[in-house]
């Protein structure tokens, strides 16, 4: 097994452990651990609800930004491309949302920097400090990592959690 596959399996295992803790409000946002949420998507092949624990950053419009850390082949990213209706849990609050990939280069760069800054130590694992790295360097290192904007329906305050599967 190559290093990338080993890292992906480790991440998925950690995500399976973290998601229930985040849903119960037991994983607070910290400078070290970052800002964590649970993203629920519908599986593009199975139709089952899938969930993953992710770092996120608040977007200026009240939504959130997330980044697909395994690139364009990230499973949850492929799921939301097939069905952009998602649910996001932050703390104990679960809200329905609509996900869209960010295609504008300026917005994508701002979103990547914000997510990396909000990710605590994980945001520095790419080998650069997202707070001081130049736009050019950050764009180069994180080229190929899709960023997503999730907007929330303001008329919908909260919804009950679904019964998720992981994977």
Q: Give the per-residue SS3 of 56-87.
A: CEECCCCCEEEECCCHHHCHHHHHHHHCCEEE
Is residue 1 scored above 80 in pLDDT? no
- Measured CA to CA, the distance from residue 147 to residue 110 in angstroms comes to 10
95: domain CATH number?
2.30.110.10
Length of the chain: 167
The domain in which residue 139 lies consists of 3-166
Q: Determine whether 37 is exposed, middle or buried from the number of CB atoms within 10 Å of its CB (0-12, 13-18, 19+).
A: buried
* Contact yes or no for 24/92 (Cβ under 8 A): yes
> C-alpha distances in angstroms, 42 versus 25, 36, 49, 75, 162?
23, 20, 5, 11, 11
- Is pTM beyond 0.75? Reply is yes
* Contact yes or no for 89/26 (Cβ under 8 A): no
At 23-73, the pLDDT tens digits run 666 665 555 456 889 999 999 999 999 999 899 999 999 999 999 988 999
At 114-164, the pLDDT tens digits run 999 988 756 666 678 888 899 999 999 899 999 999 999 764 543 333 333
CA 84 to mean position of chain CA atoms: 14
Place of tokens 């707070």: 131
- Measured CA to CA, the distance from residue 67 to residue 17 in angstroms comes to 20
Question: Taken in order 55, 60, 63, 65, is the CA torsion positive or negative?
Answer: negative
Q: Structural domain tally of the chain?
A: 1
pLDDT score of 90: 87
């Amino acid at each position: 097994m190559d290093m990338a596959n080993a890292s992906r399996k480790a991440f998925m295992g950690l995500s399976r452990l973290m998601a229930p803790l985040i849903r119960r409000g037991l994983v607070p946002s910290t400078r070290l651990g970052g800002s964590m949420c649970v993203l629920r998507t519908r599986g593009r092949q199975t139709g089952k609800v899938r969930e993953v624990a992710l770092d996120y950053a608040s977007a200026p419009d009240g939504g959130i930004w997330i980044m697909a850390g395994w690139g364009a082949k990230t499973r949850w990213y492929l799921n939301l491309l097939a069905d952009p209706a998602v649910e996001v849990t932050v703390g104990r609050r679960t809200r329905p949302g609509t996900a869209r990939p960010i295609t504008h280069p300026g917005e994508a760069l701002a979103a990547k920097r914000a997510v990396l800054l909000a990710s605590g130590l994980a945001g520095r694992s790419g080998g650069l400090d997202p707070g001081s790295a130049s736009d050019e360097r950050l764009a180069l290192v994180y080229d190929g990592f899709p960023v997503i904007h999730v907007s929330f329906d303001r008329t919908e305050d909260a919804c009950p959690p679904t019964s998720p599967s992981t994977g």
